[in-house]
Structure 1
Amino acid sequence: MTLNHPQRQRELEKLIQKLGLSPQDPIDWQLLDLALIHPSFSSEMNYDRLEFVGDAVLRMAAAEYLDERYPDSKVGELASIRSLLVSDRMLAKIADNYGLERYLLLSPGAAGDRNGRQSRLADALEATLGALYLSTHSLDLVRPWLDEHFKELAEQIRCDPALQNYKDALQELTQSRYQMLPEYRVRETSTVHADPQRFQAEVWFQGTRRGYGQGRTKKAAEQAAARMAFVEMQQAQALPS
């Protein structure tokens, strides 16, 4: 079913074509339109619920892709890569590739909020994924174009260890699931600057030590501790209750 507003319909068809899809695909145009309405534009009809669905869709699509692409990789490594693939920074980058912002309906005040642009684009992209998923109740309209971004970004992450920021990944995990931040405790155990174990770090969360690491710098030690904590908490989350 097409929209009642021909101009908006044409705009959304252009977006669909940018994604490499066809206007003849089984797209629920009402949902796609809703996915691109910011809460500042309408407090009642906006993308909030579709963003909720799209968040799960995004993680499932990323998990399927990584499982297929890297069958020999450990779960902890795949989880850390996925956490970066689904981060607001990466999502905003993907959204920018398609000029998603020009299709987003929002208030003038929100449009002028440059600090909120990244999260705004990430939310809109997730909502778009939610709309496309609900159009077919499958990933048929999602993975054909999203996989290409996963491929590029995942290879960048694997080739550049600096991108594997476990502190950011752990913070995103604890904030999204528990609305709390981890605590780092670092101490210097050597005055030799070249000592690879000069600093020792612990990461604590909810009164429990979740990770431990060593490094030549405070940052390296914290990253090592964060990696241990992140992998442990991801694996614990995946275990059946």
Structure 2
Amino acid sequence: MTLSYPRRQKQLQSLVQKLGLPAQAPVQWQLLDLALTHPTISAQANYEQLEFVGDAVVRLVAAEVLWETYPDCPVGEFAAIRSVLVSDRILAQLAAEYGLELYLLVAGSASTDKAGQETRLADAFEAVLGALYLSTHTLKLVRPWLDPHFKQLAAQIRSDPARLNYKAALQEWTQAHFKVLPEYRVQEISQPRDSLERFAAEVWLQDRQLGQGTGRSIKAAEQAAAQVAFLAISDAQKNGE
């Protein structure tokens, strides 16, 4: 069934083609339209429920890809890799690759909220997965185009000792060597309006600063600081310091 708005129908068909799905794919267009409708457009008819479904879908796809690609991988490593694959950061990156922002209906200040862009894109991406899943109640409209991304990302994560989650990796290292957690000190920084770097973070261990970084959010700034610290520690260990 098509939408009553031809222009919107063409927009959504364009997105489906970007995903590499056939023109005659059994997509329920009303669901896909809803998946790309931000709560600022409608308090009732928006993507929130589809996002809830999509959250389960993306976790299932990630689990199946890992199961099929790395059958001998320990469960703990499965969980660690999947946690990165389904993170807002990765989902927002995938959403950006397909230009999801161009199709997302957003109103008011949310449309220019750069700080919330990552969460907004990740939520919409999950909602799209939910809509595609509910169109057939199978993964046949999801896995053909999502699998290659997850396989590539999983390979990168497995080759990275920090699994792209430097906060978690640094925490494991400090607990193993010092039995304590690193401390993060974050403050908001003054930047030009068009800058996305809103916070600065430092990571400390036993009165010693290990690294510092900036980011659009507190979490991003902490992750940046942890990355600097972890890579410095890794280099030091390689050099026998």
| TM-score, with structure 1 as normaliser | 0.71
User: Are 2:153 and 1:156 aligned?
Assistant: no
CA contact (8 A) 2:18 2:98 kept: yes
User: Are 2:113 and 1:113 aligned?
Assistant: yes
**Secondary structure class of the residue paired with 1:101:** helix
Q: Which residue of 1 aligns with 2:129?
A: 129
**Secondary structure class of the residue paired with 1:82:** helix
Tell me: CA distance 1:80–1:95, structure 2 relative to 1, closer, same or farther (3 Å). Answer: same
**Secondary structure class of the residue paired with 2:71:** coil
* Aligned ranges 1:19-168 → 2 under 5 Å: 19-165=19-165, 167-168=167-168
1:201: Cα distance to partner? 2.9
Code of the residue aligned with 1:136 in structure 2: it is: T
1:162: Cα distance to partner? 2.7
The 2-side partners of 1:62 and 1:140 are apart by 14
**Secondary structure class of the residue paired with 2:180:** strand
**Secondary structure class of the residue paired with 1:201:** coil
CA contact (8 A) 2:36 2:105 kept: yes
CA contact (8 A) 1:58 1:86 kept: yes
CA contact (8 A) 1:80 1:166 kept: no
Q: Which residue of 1 aligns with 2:180?
A: 201
1:164-201 Cα distance to aligned partner (Å, 9 max, x none): 427459xxxxxxxxxxxxx99x79xxxxxxxx94x223
CA contact (8 A) 2:88 2:119 kept: yes
Tell me: CA distance 1:168–1:7, structure 2 relative to 1, closer, same or farther (3 Å). Answer: farther
Q: Which moved more, 1:107-116 or 1:131-140?
A: 107-116
The 2-side partners of 1:76 and 1:135 are apart by 33
CA contact (8 A) 1:81 1:164 kept: no
1:62-121 Cα distance to aligned partner (Å, 9 max, x none): 001100000010000011000000000000000011000000000131011100000000
1:41: Cα distance to partner? 1.2
Q: Which residue of 2 aligns with 1:10?
A: 10
Q: Which runs of 5+ in 1 are unaligned?
A: 170-182, 188-195, 204-216, 224-241
Q: Which runs of 5+ in 2 are unaligned?
A: 183-208, 211-225, 231-241
The 1-side partners of 2:168 and 2:53 are apart by 23
Q: Which residue of 2 aligns with 1:210?
A: none
Q: CA RMSD in A?
A: 2.6
The 1-side partners of 2:126 and 2:139 are apart by 13
Code of the residue aligned with 1:2 in structure 2: it is: T
The 2-side partners of 1:84 and 1:73 are apart by 16
Identity %: 59
Code of the residue aligned with 2:179 in structure 1: it is: Q
CA contact (8 A) 2:80 2:163 kept: no
The 2-side partners of 1:141 and 1:62 are apart by 15
1:151: Cα distance to partner? 1.1
The 1-side partners of 2:44 and 2:144 are apart by 32
The 2-side partners of 1:4 and 1:22 are apart by 22
The 2-side partners of 1:92 and 1:59 are apart by 15
Q: How many residues align?
A: 186
